[in-house]
Chains A and B, each alone.
Chain A
Amino acid sequence: MADGEMANAKAPGRYAGAIDCDLHPAVPGMNVLLPYLDEYWREMVSVRALDRLNLALTSYPQNAPLSCRPDWKLADGEKPGASLQAMQEHVLDRYQQRFGILNCLYGAQVMHSEDMAAVFCRATNDWIRDEWLSRDPRLRASIVIAAHSTEHAVAEIERRADDMRFVQVLMLVSGEVTLGRRQLWPIYRLAEKHGLPVGIHAGSAYRYAPTAVGWPSYFVEDYVSQSAAFENQLQSMISEGVFAKFPGLKVVAIESGLTWLSGFAWRADKTWKGVRAEVPWVTRAPSEIVREHVRFTVQPIDATDEAAAILRLIDHLRSDELFLFSTDYPHWQFDGDAALPDGLSASLLRKIVSDNALATYPRLVKADRAMEIAV
């Protein structure tokens, strides 16, 4: 690449037309959800003072450096990601994004009571629809569900299915059961039916220790261990036969990091060759299944040599269709406009910035119809 091109490589216009596959809108407080609760739950909120609970997830401590980029902080201590106007200014407008997909991380999806979790997931989705999707036509959203409550999750997906602005089903990578388990299959069946990829986001419901050796001391360990959680859960989905059962299903690993994929693919393929008799429905090598069914949002690029890391992964996985553009707004993964590193070819850049996402999310381009329904 010529020097002049290099100098311009990180200009914001480089991402024009981008599809940002990981934006985090913050629920400012439970009070915004109250209009969407029925009488019983409004009373419960009042009697139990639920609205005074801070349901920020342990996976993203509110003030940890990673949770918000310094120049994306909001005035007056407002929660990072709580302002649509700021999100527009910081990423949607700045990068001339075509679409942005909202992945709301809020306590609703991890509540122990299935009933309470379902009610607040539903309210969260209603709030996203009214306060975000209806206020910016570029925005799309993931359907927030409590995955440990399959019956309620299915009902919630059905409730949103006709609104094409909901383009994905959102789950945390570490929940109550490994993600391949059959009890979750009604969720996958419905996702496949409606062209909704299942977005698996970093983070844990903390039903168990985050690692198989117990509870680490530090948040940085929890965050580092997210990639291992993705390895585990992809292995679970492959071994249980999710992709054999639902050949149209797409999974998007969100904020998973990327570089672990090489080692994962090698080990998964080798192990499968040795023990595949145990899982006769897994008729293809795990790396092939990943290539066909799984995509990864690009931030964080968990390497210090970012461009080399991406090119190495493309060589190892033999595909340039795996990675989807994301800013992970407002999380602090990169500075300035370096959402992608220098050193990627123009054609690869286009694939990552938009083409791969368009191929992954069939509902994205049904935008006009979505707007009609909204009105």
Chain B
Amino acid sequence: MSIVELERSGAARSRLRIIDCDIHPAMTSWTEVHPYLAKQWIDHLSVYGSHLRHAFSEALSHPRMSPDAARVDAYPEEGGPPGSSLELMRTQHLDPNGVETGMLIPLRWNPGSQRNLDFGVALTQAMNTWQVERWVKNEPRLRASVLIAQEDTGASVAEIDARAGDPNFTQILVLPKTDEPFGRRRYWPIFEAAVRSNLPIAIHVGGTNGHPSTGGGWASYYMEEHNTVAETMQAILTSLVFEGVFERFPQLRVVIMEGGLGWIPSLTARMDKHWSRLRSEVPHLKRPPSEYIREQVWFTTQPMEEPGTAAQLIDLFDRIGWDRLLFSTDYPHWDFDDPRYAFRANLSEAQRDQLLYGNAQAFYGLP
């Protein structure tokens, strides 16, 4: 049994505890959200479909290397896509991996990227209710995320306010491919609402905004595209820092999900270096960028970096800050990080517990 393999000699414990900060629930069928949508939008979707800023109305621009970007063993026997069966999620992941709390990150339909803003807003409302009714109410280990259609700031604020105080929700969820860099002023009411609601903002890889995946054109291959998500996260973080979001909202907490870890110390140092030369352009920043990041930004761990040596991995964690790392698996996607093998270094029991459980417990204020 997997739990046995997790135990370390001399420090045996009865059970390993994990908070998984990145689980992707799926719908068996689109009709699952019909009860939460006005007829207008059910009709709209069947007539006009999802209307995004890329070439395919339903498919991703860069086909993945496995169907649904999923683990091949994650397809429910009863049919439906990976992540659509609560029973399989329990038996395959939550139970054997000791997941005490799992954060739901629904990605389907890209509500925040819909060109029809009203449709996007309706989708977020429906999918938020769907998370509670379909998942959290049936599985108390799971928590929902408040999806917002960030391009409609007013509607986003209204949705955050509507869910504030509901213990089923632990955070606000935004996908990084926003129309403009997320630190721009037009989004500030969202940050204000997040602080008011005491909800962190999770930024999880995904979305479409019509901008090429690089500043010099489109990636051709999935291998390239998959790596551009790290640079996209860099751009988001850079924007939040230099626009002064952290300076203006010192209570705001942001968690960057699935963006990788290797770039964090270097980008932080790079920002400090160039800020010291160009700070006259951004007088609203009162402190070096690294200080805002160290205090207000967290990161989920999957996909775990695999440096050449264990010492390099430890050094990376040292430089990011051990207390900023939240464990995640990305279940049921192909690049799932198994808690038994994800960290290729000898961690102490305390370090392992901090990464797998303690940091997320503190971050989300879980009991």
Q: In this complex, which of A174, A210, A232, A282 has the most chain B Cβ atoms within 10 angstroms of its Cβ? A: A232
Q: Are B275 and A220 closer than 8 Å at their CB atoms?
A: yes
Contacts A66-B277, A213-B239 given; does A179 touch B213 at CB 8 Å: no
Verify if A225 is at the interface (C-beta below 8 Å from B): yes
Nearest chain-A residue to B280 (Cβ)?
A65
Q: Which of B230, B232, B238, B308 makes the CB contact (< 8 A) with A224?
A: B238
Q: Are A302 and B335 closer than 8 Å at their CB atoms?
A: no
Verify if A262 is at the interface (C-beta below 8 Å from B): yes
Q: Are B181 and A215 closer than 8 Å at their CB atoms?
A: yes
Question: Which of A96-104, A235-243, A355-363 is near enough to bind chain B?
Answer: A235-243
Question: Which of A16-24, A84-92, A267-275 is near enough to bind chain B?
Answer: A267-275
Q: How long is the Cα–Cα vector from A217 to B212 in the complex, in angstroms?
A: 18
B199-229 with Cβ < 8 A to chain A: 209, 211-224, 226-228
Verify if B195 is at the interface (C-beta below 8 Å from A): no
Contacts A213-B178, A259-B270, A262-B262 given; does A278 touch B221 at CB 8 Å: yes
Nearest chain-B residue to A241 (Cβ)?
B221
In this complex, how many residues of chain B approach chain A with their Cβ under 8 Å: the count is 68
Verify if A123 is at the interface (C-beta below 8 Å from B): no
Q: Are B215 and A210 closer than 8 Å at their CB atoms?
A: yes
When distances are taken between beta carbons in the complex, the residues of chain B under 8 Å from A211 are: 181, 211, 215, 231-232, 235, 238-239
Q: Are A212 and B212 closer than 8 Å at their CB atoms?
A: yes
When distances are taken between beta carbons in the complex, the residues of chain B under 8 Å from A276 are: 223
Q: Which of B226, B231, B261 makes the CB contact (< 8 A) with A212?
A: B231
CB distance from B310 to the nearest CB of A (A): 13
A269-310 with Cβ < 8 A to chain B: 269-272, 274-279, 282, 300, 302-304, 309
Q: Which of A214, A228, A279, A316 makes the CB contact (< 8 A) with B231?
A: A228
When distances are taken between beta carbons in the complex, the residues of chain A under 8 Å from B221 are: 239-240, 278-279
In this complex, how many residues of chain A approach chain B with their Cβ under 8 Å: the count is 72
- A/B pair count, beta carbons within 8 Å: 246
Contacts A213-B232, A274-B335 given; does A178 touch B238 at CB 8 Å: no
Q: How long is the Cα–Cα vector from A240 to B214 in the complex, in angstroms?
A: 15
Contacts A214-B178, A239-B220, A304-B269 given; does A66 touch B274 at CB 8 Å: yes
Question: Which of B12-20, B82-90, B102-110, B299-307 is near enough to bind chain A?
Answer: B299-307
Q: Are A260 and B270 closer than 8 Å at their CB atoms?
A: yes
Q: How long is the Cα–Cα vector from A225 to B263 in the complex, in angstroms?
A: 12
Verify if B47 is at the interface (C-beta below 8 Å from A): no
When distances are taken between beta carbons in the complex, the residues of chain B under 8 Å from A257 are: 270
CB distance from B173 to the nearest CB of A (A): 16
Q: Are A239 and B312 closer than 8 Å at their CB atoms?
A: no
Give the B-binding residues of A (Cβ under 8 A): 64-66, 173-181, 204-205, 207-221, 223-225, 227-229, 231-233, 235-236, 239-240, 257, 259-260, 262-264, 266-272, 274-279, 282, 300, 302-304, 309, 312, 315-316, 318, 332
Could you list 13 A-B pairs, sorted by A, with CB under 8 Å? A175-B216, A177-B216, A208-B211, A212-B232, A217-B184, A217-B239, A218-B242, A224-B238, A232-B219, A262-B307, A279-B223, A303-B269, A303-B273
